[in-house]
A and B are shown apart, each in its own frame.
Chain A
Amino acid sequence: MSKKKISRRKFLVRGGLGTIGVLAVGTYLFRNPIRRVIAEAIDSGESPYMGDTSSPVIWFEVTSENNIVLHSPKVEMGQGTFTSLAQMAADELEVSMEQMKVIHANSASGNMDGFATGGSTSVASLWVPLRELAATMREMIKNKAAEKIGVSIEQLSIADGVISEGENSISYAEVVADVSEWNIPDTPVLKDIKEYKFVGRPIPRVDLKDKVFGAPIFGMDATLPDMLHGAVVRSSAIGATYIDADISKAETMPGVVKVIKEPDFVGVIANSLIEAENAKNTIVVDWKVDRKWQTSDIEAMIAVGQGEPYVIQKEGDAEDILSEGENIITSDYKSPIGAHAQLEPNGALAHVEDDTATIFMSTQVVKLTRDEIAERLGLDEENVNIVPTFLGGGFGRRLHTPNAVQAAVLSKAVGKPVKCFFTRKEEFQNDTFRPPTHHVLKAKLSEDGMIEAIEHNVSSGDVAHGSAMLPSILEPILGSDIGAWRGGMIQYGAIPNFRTISWRVKLPFATSWWRSLGLLANTFAIESFMDELAIKAKKSPVEFRLAQIQDDNRGFRLKEVIKAAVEKSGYTDEVVNGRAMGFAVSTDANTPCAQVVEVSIENKEIKVHKVTCAMDPGIAVNPDQVRAQCEGAIIMGMSAAMFEKMDVEDGQLTPTIYGPYQMALMKNAPKQIDVVLLQNDDKPGAVGEPPLGPIGAAVANAVFRLTGERLREMPLQLKSSKV
């Protein structure tokens, strides 16, 4: 169907896409209120889809075998989106799962996401539009079938993509075969969710076999005839600016086709990857480096009180109550620089010919990458085709992929396809890191042991600011960083007085989106502090929290996940058989998630035996994959909270390899993870990031119960060992 014409395509256009830009610009004068409104909007998890939903024709194809190909504008990086989208489409299209094939939509197909794959929004944002597109396509085909058979639509029934009336039957493939013009009907009423056969069921991943049998599906696996290999010199030093390079030796190295010097980089093109790398290593670059940064410099910058404060949440008068007087409790917490460390390095295969460019790559930002290449090469955007591949991990690392521009420049220089990837050392030193944070929590308890006032101050490097995804016009309005805010709000609405203040720090190296953004560190700080307050108030940490949650829908959902996690885990404050439990809960993008961990100390190290996770993402389109996301996020969160840390030594980020960059491995993974899914919302919400929230605080809280040692800094390491 992809090349057919549409006679009318005006319905299905969804009005009023509330982008942050539209929301913010024009209310510039009311800075503080609008900042809080935006903060609330981000916190609410509403995420409209920003792409073309005007016609099913650019979304679906029908093959001659009567299969349906869905061209997904969202990329698959492990989060299971392809499978959920296939389930949603199959139910409205009335085809089987076996008939559904999902591929990445290339940018030239017209089905391009205007923004990105990220923020746990893929399934949530496409929940309505994709089902409407599938239902519309079903009706389009059904209308044509009625014409062909010569009966009224009401007489037709559909099963597995075959339309029947009495003894007559015709497949979707047969219906569409000779149709060149489609009438698009009014958007049909969607089916009742109870009628769905696939949505809500644990369907195996649609990409399972490709991934188990080693199919060449990733960016690094892409090849083209006559392909050459590129290598670009990248600096090891923070803040290095390229000045010039001596390429005389490189030009004589075996296998080298060409060495090119551009105004901003130098690169090699050779016959093989090894030859390109060997030649690259002989290039002597003149870098301009202003300063040799050290970890201590960075730590001094990331401190509450430095720079400008921005109030992003305010209720009552926490400022006055906490500014003076006795019995004010204060603690501070820290998190380090984190690396993405995704297994597939960044890179691209580019083929630039005359006035067109084709790029195969793993990216979370198809449109942005296309536009950057078009600008650099002076091509029309329509003539740059980004062909997204499966991603060997995303986690936010591919929310800006300017390396594709370099691959395209190299390809143009030799007139052949060129594949160019980062080395692992280059990945570690040129990452867009999770920024380090510093948090100061202050509170005052009332006489009955409840929180009278609480304040969270967070200092963080940028997440969204400075990234290519946030219009710079918004910086003065937002002040501090919307990504750093994530998870930073006080979620206990029954507390009479609370405030959150964000302090923005501009670091000398790139910091950006890392799965869950600020959630991991913010929840670590706030939920550790809640535990400290509960202990001070001599209350159970669970009851202490429940009593301070407001009575609205959001509060109800939060309380329900807490109760479910406690019930499933049998949470107790007591130490039993050398093991203690820890509890924490977060709300991220409107998905509440509570976790209970069980830890012991073995060989002076924290050992996590079991994690119980109760989460309410609303409708779980694929409950098995929601569970998989919880399991993975819990261990990834443990890895970040307990092991990972980048340092700055003599102007370089270090370490530069797995191992020295410590991560959770098989031996560190809990042997039991119980996931309880609640569904107190009537639509799918965020899944991929929310379960990263509670884990750090839950582990720290358990360690305190076991050892009496309060760990306030990630990675969590015991200073003394009492068990």
Chain B
Amino acid sequence: MKISFTINGKSQSVEIADENTPLLWVVRDILDLKGTKFGCGKAACGACTLHVDGEAVRSCSYAIKFVEGKEITTIEGLGNEENPHPVQRAWIEEVVPQCGYCQPGFMMATAALIDKIPNPTDEDIDKNIINVCRCATYYRMRKAIHRAAALNTEASSSTETQIS
């Protein structure tokens, strides 16, 4: 069957035999976007987190049939070196990654969090950021999440200033 959606701002159609194929494998193996990671295949670790219509979703357990007409964002579309997302800027400034494998999932979860809660408290972070990092970079991640929230608020308020 043919499924159409938007990914990282571009329209995309894929022809797929099994409509229950997890979105993760379409993104990684058909669209060749390797930033979204496989960790467990059971939505238990969060390495595969991406956005579907702005919501953080664990794509290893999200069937491709459900993305028809939706907007997907992966780590590659969150920002790039020239124009990094505030979360990516914060991750660089706090030097968060160690092995780095789980980090895209954490950054996508964080971007979704600060979109909903612009200034998350430590309790908000504990409740919402529940991915697994085996290098256990949680200490720097927490600092980076607060920093990302501050950078994001700064960015949006300066945009507002320009508009007014």
Contacts and interface: CB of A to CB of B under 8 A. Distances in A.
Interface in A301-318: none
A34 interface: no
Contacts of B99: 77-78, 342-344, 390-394
Contacts of A624: 95
B35 interface: yes
A210 B45 CA distance: 21
Instruction: Summarize A's interface: helix, strand, loop or mixed.
Output: loop
A79 B98 CA distance: 6
Contact of B29 (A272, A393, A657): A272
Given A342-B134, A666-B138, A212 B98 contact: no
Interface in B13-70: 17-18, 21-22, 25, 29, 32-42, 44-45, 47
Contacts of A625: 95
Contact of A392 (B29, B74, B101, B122): B101
Contact of A208 (B97, B130, B136): B97
A463 B35 CA distance: 34
A706 interface: no
A496 interface: no
B95 A669 contact: no
A343 B47 contact: yes
A201 to B, nearest CB: 13
Nearest to A624: B95
Nearest to B17: A254
A67 to B, nearest CB: 17
Contact of B102 (A77, A216, A343): A343
A665 B132 contact: yes
Contact of A215 (B21, B35, B45): B35
B144 to A, nearest CB: 10
Interface string A624-656: 110011011111100100000000000000000
Contacts of B37: 218, 220, 343-344, 392
A78 B140 CA distance: 14
A274 B126 contact: no
A48 B16 CA distance: 53
Given A272-B25, A272-B29, A78 B35 contact: no
Given A221-B34, A341-B134, A636-B135, A78 B100 contact: yes
A663 interface: yes
A212 B88 contact: yes
A343 B44 CA distance: 11
Contacts of B47: 343
Count chain A CB atoms within 10 A of each CB in B22, B98, B107 and give the residue with the most: B98
Interface string B109-131: 00000000000001001110111
A663 B76 contact: no
B1 to A, nearest CB: 14
B100 A207 contact: yes
B155 interface: no
B6 interface: no
A654 B21 CA distance: 27
B80 interface: yes
B18 A664 contact: no
B90 to A, nearest CB: 10
Interface residues of B, number: 59
Contact of A671 (B74, B92, B133, B142): B142
Given A209-B92, A343-B102, A669 B42 contact: no
A471 interface: no
Contacts of B152: none
A608 to B, nearest CB: 11
B38 A393 contact: no
Contacts of A80: 98
A531 to B, nearest CB: 25
Contact of B139 (A77, A204, A341, A673): A673
Interface in A192-223: 204-205, 207-218, 220-221, 223
B105 to A, nearest CB: 9
B75 interface: yes
Instruction: Summarize B's interface: helix, strand, loop or mixed.
Output: loop
B160 interface: no
A690 interface: no
A273 B25 contact: yes
A423 interface: yes
A628 B21 CA distance: 38
B92 A204 contact: yes
Contacts of A636: 134-136
A318 B39 CA distance: 49
A117 B130 CA distance: 30
A214 B76 contact: yes
Contacts of B75: 213-214
A667 interface: yes
Contacts of B101: 218, 343-344, 392-393
A628 B137 contact: yes
B142 A669 contact: yes
B149 interface: no
B134 A393 contact: yes
B141 interface: yes
Contacts of A287: none
B139 to A, nearest CB: 5
A705 interface: no
B130 A665 contact: yes
Given A274-B25, A393-B101, A213 B136 contact: no
A631 to B, nearest CB: 5
A336 interface: no
Contacts of B103: 211-212
B104 interface: yes
Count chain A CB atoms within 10 A of each CB in B21, B45, B136 and give the residue with the most: B136
Contact of B79 (A213, A223, A395): A213
A144 B132 CA distance: 52
Contacts of B122: 671
A657 B40 contact: yes
Count chain B CB atoms within 10 A of each CB in A205, A221, A669 and give the residue with the most: A669
Contacts of A77: 99
A28 interface: no
A424 B40 contact: yes
Interface in A363-395: 390-395
Given A666-B138, A669-B142, 18 more contacts: A212-B96, A212-B97, A213-B76, A213-B80, A213-B88, A214-B75, A218-B37, A343-B99, A343-B132, A343-B134, A344-B99, A393-B135, A395-B134, A632-B137, A633-B136, A636-B134, A659-B44, A666-B126
The 5 A-B pairs of least Cβ separation, nearest first, read A214-B35, A392-B101, A78-B99, A211-B100, A78-B98
22 contacts: A208-B95, A208-B97, A212-B97, A212-B107, A213-B81, A273-B29, A274-B18, A341-B132, A343-B39, A424-B40, A625-B95, A628-B98, A631-B137, A658-B39, A658-B44, A658-B45, A665-B138, A666-B125, A666-B142, A667-B130, A669-B138, A671-B122
